[in-house]
């Protein structure tokens, strides 16, 4: 580690999950670099302040990272820790994702106090989710359910469920497990039933592109396979719609040196979903190229028309 990086400041949102993630990175960095001092700069982002409506209506997930990037730019912080699913696929000039750590469970989780899974929900049951991606796939599977938005941090959503506002809610399994709330999960939705968000379950570390000291310091946290998969997913999303707010999902896996990337786009009401999947050996094809292939297959299936219609429905 360069001598210049003896003290680092992590910019983080102040939710329990964001703080867990930042503390996790802090602890791993300090363990890997004896003598390194790492502190946290807690911040409230616009996405945290505007909880009265869905993310799609107020500008998308990028609202969770803008203030953190401003702290990186003006020198108040050296790095920021993000859930990669919250990071826009087009970073502002001057910023890089310096490392992505090993992925946690990427699946969506079904949480309910009275029902075991989606199939056991009665007609008319109220299901809460903050994600148009989850909503579209759920509506396609169970059009008889009442799907409503639920914003706020994980604990707030669980409280609304416990108070009877919903019969079930859908959350990212990774967040529940990281917070020690895995016992609240009644069942997990396999990717075939609910394709994850691009980057779901992966933690990314962002810094300024000119901070070679930070990039070197955090390299010990990088997981090459996770980063390959996340790059493929982000490339697919970028080729299709950039940072649009329409329902879109992408999930890549690697087995035996062969990567499989699946993607979909949908209308929010689930009335139309276009899917595509491609495979390639990781030693012969770059991650971005696989993402472009899946985006092309989706485009040929009519994805751009779906995305245009979806934007008008949000």
List the catalytic residue out of 27, 48, 74, 86: 86
User: Strands, E, within 193-272: which ranges?
Assistant: 203-208, 248-255, 258-266
Could you give phi then psi for residue 205, rounded to 5 degrees? Answer: -115, 120
Closest CA to 72 of 200, 201, 205, 199: 205
Q: ∠ CA 249-125-135 to the nearest 5 degrees?
A: 15
3-state DSSP assignment of residue 265: strand
**Active-site residue, 86 included:** yes
Reference 48, options 75, 17, 76; nearest CA is 17
Burial class (CB in 10 A: 0-12, 13-18, 19+), 283: exposed
Name all contacts of 278-283 with Cβ < 8 Å and 24+ positions apart: 281/257, 282/228, 282/254, 282/257, 282/258, 283/257
| Number of other residues whose CB lies within 10 A of the CB of residue 256 | 7
Angstrom CA distances, 278 to 97, 200, 283, stand at 25, 19, 15
How far apart, in Å, are the Cα atoms of 184 and each of 36, 106, 149?
Answer: 36, 16, 20
Q: Are 92 and 85 in contact (CB under 8 A)?
A: no
Sign of CA dihedral 25, 28, 33, 34: positive
Cβ neighbour number for residue 245 with a 10 Å cutoff: 21
DSSP lists the bridge partners of residue 35 as none
> Where in the sequence numbering do the catalytic residues fall?
86
């Amino acid at each position: 580690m360069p001598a210049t990086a003896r003290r680092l400041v992590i910019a983080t949102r102040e939710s329990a999950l964001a703080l867990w993630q930042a503390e996790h990175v802090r602890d791993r960095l300090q363990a890997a670099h004896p003598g390194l001092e790492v502190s946290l700069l807690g911040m409230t982002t616009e996405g945290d302040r505007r909880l009265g409506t869905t993310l799609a209506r107020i500008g998308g997930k990028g609202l969770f990272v803008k203030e953190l990037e401003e702290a990186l730019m003006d020198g108040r912080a050296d790095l920021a820790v993000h859930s990669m699913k919250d990071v826009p696929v087009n970073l502002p000039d001057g910023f890089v994702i310096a490392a992505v750590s090993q992925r946690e469970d990427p699946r969506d989780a079904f949480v309910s106090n009275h029902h075991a899974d989606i199939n056991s929900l009665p007609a008319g049951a109220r299901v809460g989710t903050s994600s148009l991606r989850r909503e579209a796939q759920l509506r396609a599977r169970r059009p008889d359910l009442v799907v409503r938005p639920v914003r706020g941090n994980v604990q707030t959503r669980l409280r609304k469920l416990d108070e009877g506002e919903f019969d079930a809610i859908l959350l990212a399994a990774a967040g529940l497990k990281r917070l020690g709330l895995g016992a609240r999960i009644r069942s997990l939705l396999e990717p075939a039933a609910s394709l994850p968000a691009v980057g779901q379950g992966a933690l990314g570390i962002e810094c300024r592109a000119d901070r070679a000291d930070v990039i070197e310091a955090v390299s010990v946290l990088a997981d090459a396979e996770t980063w390959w998969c996340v790059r493929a997913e982000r490339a697919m999303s970028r080729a299709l719609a950039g940072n649009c707010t329409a329902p879109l999902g992408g999930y890549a896996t690697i087995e035996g040196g062969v990567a499989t990337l699946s993607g979909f786009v949908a209308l929010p009401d689930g009335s139309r979903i276009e899917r595509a999947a491609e495979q390639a050996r990781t030693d012969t094809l770059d991650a971005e190229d696989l993402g472009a292939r899946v985006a092309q297959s989706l485009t040929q299936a009519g994805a751009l028309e779906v995305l245009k219609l979806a934007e008008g429905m949000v």
